[in-house]
Structure 1
Amino acid sequence: MPAVLRSGAFRFFFYSLENNEPPHVYVESADATAKFWLDPVELARSRGFRSRDLTRLRASIIEHRHEFLAAWHAHFGESA
């Protein structure tokens, strides 16, 4: 599972065998996880994060969206 970004206690990554889904990124911190679609940036599911954390995470994903998409396409050999 390639880590794309680490920011404070948060690790942003994706799983290598999920290229059959639209581009997305997972966020993990301690016992909490969330999955966000990247186009458009939207929460797919979450476990353990508070709503204010999810709001902050969504803003961070929007800020780094192009970086996440570039990493997704580079890893899966797709053109952006």
Structure 2
Amino acid sequence: MPTVFVQGQYRFYFFSREESRRHIHVSSSDGEMKVWLEPEITVAKVINLSEKEVNKILEIVKSRKEEIDEFWKKHFS
């Protein structure tokens, strides 16, 4: 489960042996979330996070998508 980055209370990471469609997992002390990165950034799953937190996480993912994509390529190639 490599960590891509930590921002504030959120840890952004991948599972090494999961589906091939690009996505990222996010966890905090409050809950967790899975975000699809393709074909566009969308919510795949949310557990115990408020709508405000979900929106904040989506903004972080959008602003750091290039970094996430590069990490994905390095990790899964």
Poorly superposed stretches of 4+, deviation over 4 Å = none
Say whether 1:12 aligns with 2:12: yes
Report the RMSD for the aligned CA atoms in angstroms.
0.9
Give the counterpart letter for 1:38 in structure 2.
L
Give the 5 Å matches for 1:1-80: 1-18=1-18, 20-39=19-38, 40-77=40-77
Distance (Å, rounded) in 1 between the aligned partners of 2:32 and 2:17: 18
What is the number of equivalent residue pairs in this alignment? Answer: 76
Q: CA deviation at 1:73?
A: 1.1
Residues in 2 aligned to 1:48 and 1:5: alpha-carbon distance in whole angstroms: 21
Once residues 53 and 30 of structure 2 are traced to their aligned partners in structure 1, the CA distance between those partners, rounded to angstroms, is 13
TM-score (normalizing by structure 1): 0.90
Q: Tell me the percent identity.
A: 28
Q: 2:14 and 2:24 mapped to 1: Cα distance?
A: 5
Matched to 1:8, the amino acid is G
